[in-house]
């Protein structure tokens, strides 16, 4: 006989579908659980079975060879109406199976044992069950093992559900952050066009530089999913590619970067320094289309866990009336970055170009 619908059928189906597991591909984690259940219980068949509206669908099975069957012949559809664990030593002695063709066949399914798969709010989704072609009984250890494995099935389902929710949340956050950064960058560009003062224009250009650095960092963190620690090499490579795309045709960019792992706040500071130096070199270091090169180097400092960042160009250097320790807004921003990283800044300027170097101890220990 066909089982009655669960008394909370609508809520149960809604909860089942919230896991987004129906009709997905086979996965080793679930296949291994089904195989282990069959081996431990000594049965020919084991199934991770989910009860849908009109069918029972198998996330994993061993010994059966199909992925779904109709509810009209489902033993598990009866089981989800009852206790957390059901064992039927001989299906032909159970009135619910008296006319079930799967049990009456030759060979027929004569033994069944299943542990419920229950959501966190207690709704039954299906079972982890074992079946055989001969009447039998499980040992206490086999019954407990089946219960434990059913809980492991739910751990896998809950974990996948949480990971999917996390991905969706991150996508929404990513979308909002990118929109906010783009809006902020657009606002700064509008302000740059409106201001008359060269000092204000330079200040807004520096703000734009930091927005670019944060945007590049955000893109790297989102793609890498690496948490608050990132690869300096990956970050700098992407930053340099961005700057190279806006470089004057007479200026080349080069980089030599060791691979350090540093916190994202330190990476933003490093990115801002690089952005500011390169932007100023593009603007001031190579007048009259003079050919030149801007170089970025990041390597180990002298102290343990320290990182040295050196930005240099082979341009005209600072004007003769500007001392390295009292440069313009660009050097002022570099000093702010240096202070953020609790480091000293060395500035060397000559007719052969300009070089800025900082060395800081990262809060992320290096191996």
Calpha distance 223→201 (Å, rounded):
33
Fold classified for 227-361: Heat Shock Protein 90 (3.30.565)
Q: Is the pLDDT of residue 341 over 60?
A: yes
202 CB-near residues (< 8 Å, 6+ apart) = 328, 329, 330
* Predicted local confidence at residue 252, as pLDDT: 95
Segment 54-76 shows an average pLDDT of: 92
The answer for 20, left when phi > 0, alpha when psi is -120 to 50, beta otherwise, is left
Q: Which residue has the higher pLDDT, 322 or 166?
A: 166
Segment 355-363 shows an average pLDDT of: 92
Specify the pairing of strand 353-361 against strand 306-313. antiparallel
Residue pointed to by tokens 């994202």: 264
- What's domain 9-161's superfamily in CATH? GAF domain (3.30.450.40)
* Predicted local confidence at residue 213, as pLDDT: 62
Handedness of CA 301, 303, 307, 308 (dihedral sign): negative
Q: How confident is the model at residue 172 (pLDDT cuts 50, 70, 90)?
A: low
* Predicted local confidence at residue 15, as pLDDT: 94
Q: Can 9-161 and 227-361 be said to share one CATH topology?
A: no
Calpha distance 80→118 (Å, rounded):
9
Which range, 138-147, 186-195, 327-336, 355-364, is most confident? 138-147
Domain ranges of the chain: 9-161, 227-361
Segment 136-148 shows an average pLDDT of: 95
Answer whether 236's CB lies under 8 Å from 216's CB: no
Digit-coded pLDDT (tens) for 308-319:
999 999 999 887
Q: Is the pLDDT of residue 50 over 80?
A: yes
Q: Is the pLDDT of residue 226 over 60?
A: no
* Predicted local confidence at residue 164, as pLDDT: 80
Digit-coded pLDDT (tens) for 279-302:
889 988 999 999 999 999 999 988
The overall average pLDDT reported for the chain is 85
Digit-coded pLDDT (tens) for 229-248:
788 888 888 888 888 888 89
């Amino acid at each position: 006989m066909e089982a009655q619908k669960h008394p909370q059928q609508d809520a149960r189906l809604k909860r089942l579908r919230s896991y987004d597991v129906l009709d997905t591909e086979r996965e080793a984690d679930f296949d291994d659980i089904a195989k282990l259940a069959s081996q431990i219980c000594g049965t020919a068949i084991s199934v991770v079975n989910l009860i849908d509206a009109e069918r029972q669908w198998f996330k994993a099975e061993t010994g059966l060879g199909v992925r779904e069957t109709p509810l009209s012949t489902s033993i598990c559809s009866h089981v989800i109406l009852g206790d957390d664990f059901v064992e039927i030593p001989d299906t032909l002695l159970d009135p619910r199976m008296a006319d079930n063709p799967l049990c009456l066949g030759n060979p027929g399914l004569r033994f069944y044992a299943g542990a419920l798969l229950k959501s966190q709010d207690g709704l039954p989704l299906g079972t982890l069950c074992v079946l055989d072609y001969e009447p039998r009984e499980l040992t206490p250890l086999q019954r407990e093992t089946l219960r434990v494995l059913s809980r492991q099935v739910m751990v896998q389902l809950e974990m996948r559900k949480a990971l999917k929710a996390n991905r969706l949340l991150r996508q929404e956050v990513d979308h909002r952050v990118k929109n906010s950064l783009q809006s902020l960058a657009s606002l700064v560009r509008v302000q740059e066009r409106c201001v008359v003062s060269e000092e204000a224009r330079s200040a807004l250009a520096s703000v734009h530089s930091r927005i670019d650095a944060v945007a590049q960092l955000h893109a790297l963190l989102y793609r890498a999913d690496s948490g608050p620690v990132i690869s300096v090499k990956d970050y700098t490579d992407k930053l340099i590619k961005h700057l190279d795309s806006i470089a004057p045709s007479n200026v080349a960019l080069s980089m030599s970067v060791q691979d350090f792992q540093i916190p994202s706040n330190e990476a933003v500071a490093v990115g801002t320094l690089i952005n500011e130096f390169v932007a100023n070199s593009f603007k001031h270091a190579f007048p009259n289309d003079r050919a030149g090169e801007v170089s970025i180097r990041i390597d180990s400092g002298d102290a343990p866990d320290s990182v040295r960042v050196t930005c240099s160009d082979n341009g005209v250097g600072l004007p003769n009336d500007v001392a390295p320790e009292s440069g313009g807004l660009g050097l002022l921003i570099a000093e702010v970055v240096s202070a953020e990283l609790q480091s000293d800044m060395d500035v060397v300027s000559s007719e052969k170009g300009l070089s800025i170097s900082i060395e800081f101890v990262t809060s992320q220990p290096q191996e």
